[in-house]
Structure 1
Amino acid sequence: MKIMCKLILVLGFLVMPSTQATVILQYHHVSNETPAITSVTPAQFAEQMQYLADNQFNVVPLSRVIQALKNKQSLPDKTVAITFDDGYRNIYENARPVLKKHGFPYAMFLASQPIDQRINRMMSWQQIQTIAKEKAEIMNHTYDHVHLIRKLASETKGQWLSRIKANIKKNEQTIYQRTGQSFKALAYPYGEYNVDIMKMLSDMGYVAFGQHSGAAGRYSPLTSLPRYPVAVPFSKMSSLKIKMNSLAMPVLKQQPLESQLTKEEHRPKLTLTLDTQDIRKSQLMCYVSNQGAHPPVWISENTFYIQAEKRLPAGRSRYNCTAPSKTSNRYYWFSNTWVKPKHNGEWKKEK
Structure 2
Amino acid sequence: MKLVCKLILILGFFVISSVQATVILQYHHVSSDTPAITSVTPEQFAEQMQYLVDHEFNVVPLSKVITALKKKQTLPNKTVAITFDDGYRTIYENARPILNEYDFPYTMFLASKPIEQGFKNMMSWKQIQTIAKEGAEIMNHTYDHVHLIRMRPNESQTQWLTRIKSNIEKNETIIKQYTGQNFKALAYPYGEYNTHIMRMLTEMGYVAFGQHSGAAGVYSSLTALPRFPVAVPFSKMSALKVKIHSLAMPVLKQQPIESQIDKDQHRPTLTLTIDTHDIRKSQLMCYVSHQGAHLPVWINDNTFTIQAKRALAAGRSRYNCTVPSKTSNRYYWFSHTWVKPKPNGEWVKE
> Aligned runs of 1:14-29 on 2, under 5 Å?
14-19=15-20, 21-29=21-29
Q: For the residues of structure 1 that align with 2:179 and 2:57, how far apart are their CA atoms?
A: 29
- Which residue of structure 2 lines up, in the alignment, with residue 106 of structure 1? 106
- Which residue of structure 1 lines up, in the alignment, with residue 145 of structure 2? 145
RMSD value, Cα: 0.7
What SS does structure 2 have at the residue aligned with 1:299?
strand
Structure 2 stretches of 5 or more lacking a match?
none
Amino acid at match of 1:67: T
1:283 CA drift (Å): 0.2
Q: For the residues of structure 1 that align with 2:14 and 2:53, how far apart are their CA atoms?
A: 28
Q: For the residues of structure 1 that align with 2:238 and 2:44, how far apart are their CA atoms?
A: 12
- Which residue of structure 1 lines up, in the alignment, with residue 35 of structure 2? 35
1:10 CA drift (Å): 2.4
> Aligned runs of 1:139-218 on 2, under 5 Å?
139-218=139-218
What SS does structure 2 have at the residue aligned with 1:233?
coil
Deviations 1:164-216 (A, max 9, x none): 00000000000000110010000000000000000000000000000000000
1:8 CA drift (Å): 2.1
- TM-score of the superposed pair, with normalisation by structure 2: 0.99
Amino acid at match of 1:8: L
Q: For the residues of structure 1 that align with 2:164 and 2:197, how far apart are their CA atoms?
A: 9
- Which residue of structure 1 lines up, in the alignment, with residue 308 of structure 2? 308
- Which residue of structure 2 lines up, in the alignment, with residue 74 of structure 1? 74
1:11 CA drift (Å): 1.9
- Which residue of structure 2 lines up, in the alignment, with residue 262 of structure 1? 262
Q: For the residues of structure 1 that align with 2:287 and 2:74, how far apart are their CA atoms?
A: 29
Percent pairwise identity? 74
Q: For the residues of structure 2 that align with 1:12 and 1:176, how far apart are their CA atoms?
A: 40
- Which residue of structure 2 lines up, in the alignment, with residue 88 of structure 1? 88
Q: For the residues of structure 1 that align with 2:82 and 2:347, how far apart are their CA atoms?
A: 31
Q: For the residues of structure 1 that align with 2:162 and 2:238, how far apart are their CA atoms?
A: 45
- Which residue of structure 2 lines up, in the alignment, with residue 320 of structure 1? 320
- Which residue of structure 2 lines up, in the alignment, with residue 12 of structure 1? 13
Q: For the residues of structure 1 that align with 2:333 and 2:148, how far apart are their CA atoms?
A: 26
- TM-score of the superposed pair, with normalisation by structure 1: 0.98
Q: For the residues of structure 1 that align with 2:15 and 2:163, how far apart are their CA atoms?
A: 47
Q: For the residues of structure 2 that align with 1:226 and 1:183, how far apart are their CA atoms?
A: 18
1:236 CA drift (Å): 1.7
- Which residue of structure 2 lines up, in the alignment, with residue 128 of structure 1? 128
Q: For the residues of structure 2 that align with 1:239 and 1:324, how far apart are their CA atoms?
A: 16
Judge which range, 9-18 or 75-84, deviates more.
9-18
Q: For the residues of structure 2 that align with 1:98 and 1:175, how far apart are their CA atoms?
A: 24
Amino acid at match of 2:156: T
Deviations 1:123-172 (A, max 9, x none): 00000000000010000000000000000010000000000000000000
Q: For the residues of structure 1 that align with 2:6 and 2:206, how far apart are their CA atoms?
A: 40
Q: For the residues of structure 2 that align with 1:237 and 1:5, how far apart are their CA atoms?
A: 42
- Which residue of structure 2 lines up, in the alignment, with residue 291 of structure 1? 291
Deviations 1:46-80 (A, max 9, x none): 00000001111000000000000001111100000
What SS does structure 1 have at the residue aligned with 2:178?
helix
What SS does structure 2 have at the residue aligned with 1:241?
helix
- Which residue of structure 1 lines up, in the alignment, with residue 340 of structure 2? 340
1:13 CA drift (Å): 2.0
Q: For the residues of structure 2 that align with 1:17 and 1:71, how far apart are their CA atoms?
A: 15
Deviations 1:23-59 (A, max 9, x none): 0000000000001100000000000000001111000
Q: For the residues of structure 1 that align with 2:132 and 2:278, how far apart are their CA atoms?
A: 40
Q: For the residues of structure 2 that align with 1:128 and 1:16, how far apart are their CA atoms?
A: 37
Structure 1 stretches of 5 or more lacking a match?
none
- Which residue of structure 1 lines up, in the alignment, with residue 60 of structure 2? 60
Q: For the residues of structure 1 that align with 2:310 and 2:6, how far apart are their CA atoms?
A: 53
